[in-house]
Structure 1
Amino acid sequence: MAHTQRPRKPAPKRKPAAKAAPPSRAPGRAYDGPPDYRVVGRHGVFPETSHDEIARFNFLAQMNRHLSANIMPGIAEAFEARVKPGFEKAEKRAFKDRHEVRKALAKDPVWQWWSALRRATMETRQQAGRWVTLRQAGALNARVAELTEGDARLVLKPGFRQPRSTEAIDHHCMPGSYHTELVPGDVTGAANYDIGIFATTGGMLGRYNDGGGVAVAEWVKKNLPDFAPKRILDIGCGLGHNVLPLAQAFPEAEIIAVDAGAPMLRYGLARAKTMGINNVTFIQGDVSNLAEFADESFDWIQSTMFLHETSYKTMPMIFAETKRLLKPGGIVLHVEQPQYTPEMPLFEQAMRDWDAFNNNEPFWTKMHEIDLDAWMEKAGFERTNLIHGGVAAVVDPEVFPEAAKDTKQEDYGRKAAWHVVGARKVA
C-alpha cells in the first residue's frame, strides 16, 4: 500500500531572539579583548589563511589574553596566601632571591595550571603557523625569490656559521629557530613568525606587528628632535618588522639590517618591497663581529627585543662593536624588557623568568640581571652620556580597541612595553 505523508502544520512564529553579545562582553561593558585576526595587515608576501586557520589564531589570542588578564592574578593571590607563608614557615626565613620564589611557585597547583596552559598555547601557536606556511611553501618561497633574487639589498653569505646562541636553540618553541632552511631559499620559518605574533601578543603590536618599531621612531623624534641620522644599523633585525617603521620615519636614511638567519632576511626584504619601503638593506652576519663595517660609520645603532637572545659571552662584544661603529655624536639604543633591580619584587622577577625556564629563552634570566649601564661604560660610553627611557607599542586604535590598551595589567614579559637603554658617543 502506498504511504501517504500527512501535511505538516506550519511552525509557530517565534519572537526574534535577543542579539547575543560578543564573546567576553558583559552587558554594558566595552569589549576589551584582542581584535579579530582578519584585521591583520596583509602585505604582499603574507601567507594565505583559511577560515579554520584564522579561527585557531583567534582562539590562541583569546587564550593568551585570558591567561594574562584572568588567570595570572590568581597566582599572585596564591603566592601571598600559601606559597610565601609556607616557605617562611618551613625555612624560618624570607626568600633570598627570585630563584627560590620560582622553585616554590612551581610546586603550587595554580602556577602549574597556568604554566602548562601558557606553554601549550605557545607550542600550538607555532604548529598552527607552521601548518599554514608549509602547505603553501612552494608558492611562498617562489614569490619571495622573485622579489629578492639579484637584489643588492639582500646580502647572504654561503657557508655562514651560525652563532651558538641561535644554532642550539629553538627560540620560544619555534621549530628551527630563525635560521633553519627546509629547502634552498626557504622562508617558511620567517613567515610563521610573522603570521603568529598576533596570537602571542593578542594583537598588541598592531596591523603589521610593527608597533614596537613605530614607538621607537616616535620616541626618537620626540626626545631627540634635532637628530637626523643618515645611516642606521639595526642588529638582530629578524624579519624587519621593527626596522621598517624606522625606514618610514627617516626616509632619507640608509638603513642596514643585520641578522644571522637567511630565511628572515629574504622574507624581510620581500616584505619591505611589497610595502613600498626601499631604503633597507638586509645583511647576514654575526652582530658580535661586524668587521665588514668601518669604524664610526653609523649615526644610530638600534636593537629591539634582541639582547635577551644573545649570550652572556657575546653581549660585551656587541656593546664594544656598537661603540666602534658609532660616529661621534651618534646614538645607540637597546629596547628590552626591564632589568631585575632591587626595586623589582622577587615575585615579579620570578614570574618574568618563566620564559627562561619554560619558553626556550635560556639567556633571558642572566641578561635581565646585568647592570647594563655598567656594561655600556665598560664598552667605552661615559655615564653622563647614557640614555634611558621607555616605549609602548603604537597600534592603530581603529584595529585595537582603546579599552584593550591596559596600562595597569602586567603579564611579566608579554606586555608590549619596553625600557630603552643606550648612549650618545661624544665627539
Structure 2
Amino acid sequence: MSPISPTPHGQSPLRTVQVLGGGNAGSSAHVRSLAAGLVARGVRVTVCAPAEADHAYGFTATGADHAHVPRSSDPASVAALRAACTDADLVHAHGLHASFRAVLALSGRTTPLVVTWHNHAYAEGARAHLVRLLERRVVKAAAVVLGTSSDLVDRARRTGARDARLAAVGLPGRRPVPGAEEPERPRPKLRAELGSTGRPLLVAVGSLDRHRGYDVLLDAARAWRRLVPPPLLVVAGEGPLRAPLQGRVEREELPVRLVGRRDDVGELLAAADLALLPGGREARSVLAQEALHARVPLVAVDTPGIRELVGDAAELVREADAAALAAAVVRLLGDPARRGELRDNAARQAATWPTEDETVAQVLSVYDELTQPRPLV
C-alpha cells in the first residue's frame, strides 16, 4: 500500500462522499474496498447507501461513516443525500441511478461529481428512453466518468461525457501467481452436501433477476441431463425469479439446485468442475473474476466487457444461445486437457488485473485533479 499523503499545514483532510444505490455485488465490494483504501490514506469518507448495504458489506468497519439513503429518487431520499454531501470536497457515485440521485442532490452546488459505471443499464420500451435521458443528464453533470470496460467508456463518450476514462477496478482478494500450485480440489465434504458426489459440479452465482440468463441456463441443463452421470448445476443467489425458476426445475426434473444466497461462494467455486456465467450485465463480472482467481474453468456469455475481462481464459458462447452453452459444457467436461489449459490461462489473465492498491491510486489521482488548486498562469 502506498504511504498516506500528508495533509498540508492548515488544510483539512479531503472529504469524499461515495454514493451507492441498491448496489450489485461488484459495485458494493468495490465501494467497500475503495473506502478502506481512501481511509488508510487519510481521506474522510462517507458512504451513502441503504442501511442493508452497510450491514452486508460493512462500510463502517473500514473507518468510513455511513449515511442511510434509500435507493429511490423521491424528494426525501434526495434531501437526505444532499444533507450528507454538505461540505464534501467531491462526490463519487456508483451506477446510473445512484449517479442521477447525486446530480439531483448537488443541484446548485459546485461540488465536483465523479461517476463510475459498473454495468450496462438494460431497459425495454418506454423505460429504455428514460434510461437514455438519465444517462445524458448524468454524463453532462459529471466532471469525470469512469467506465469499468472499454465499451462503457465508449458509451459515456457517445452520450456526451466531457471526460470518460477506463477505470481500474481491483477485486478484493489475493492475486494469483502464474505457475503457482493449483488450489486443492475438489472438496469432497461440500460436494457431498450439495449432492454431487460421483458427478460433475457446475456452479453459477448471481442475483435471480432478469438479464442474468438463467432461463437460458435451465434450457441448457435439459441437454446435459442426458449425460451419464448428469452434472449437477448449483445456482447461488436470491431474487424475484426464484419461484418461477424453481417451478421449472421441478416440472422439467432438471439436475439443478437453487441454494439461495451463500457466504461461501469461494468454497463453492473451489469445489466446482466448471463455473457458468450465462448473462453479461456486469462489465466486470464478480463471478468471472472469482472463477479465474480460483482457476476454475469458466463458460461465459460473449459480451465486449466479459471478453475484455477474461481474454483467452474462458470458453465464450453467444448470448441467449442455450445450445451453444450446453455444447461448451459437454465439450469441457470431456476434455481435461482443455480444462487444464483454461486454469493456466486464468492465472495469467488474473495477474494482469489491477490490484486494490492500484485502483485506489487511480481514483485518488482523479480526485487530486478535481480538488487541488491550479497554479495561476
Q: Which has the higher contact order (CA 8 A, sep 6+)?
A: 1
TM-score normalized with structure 1 length = 0.29
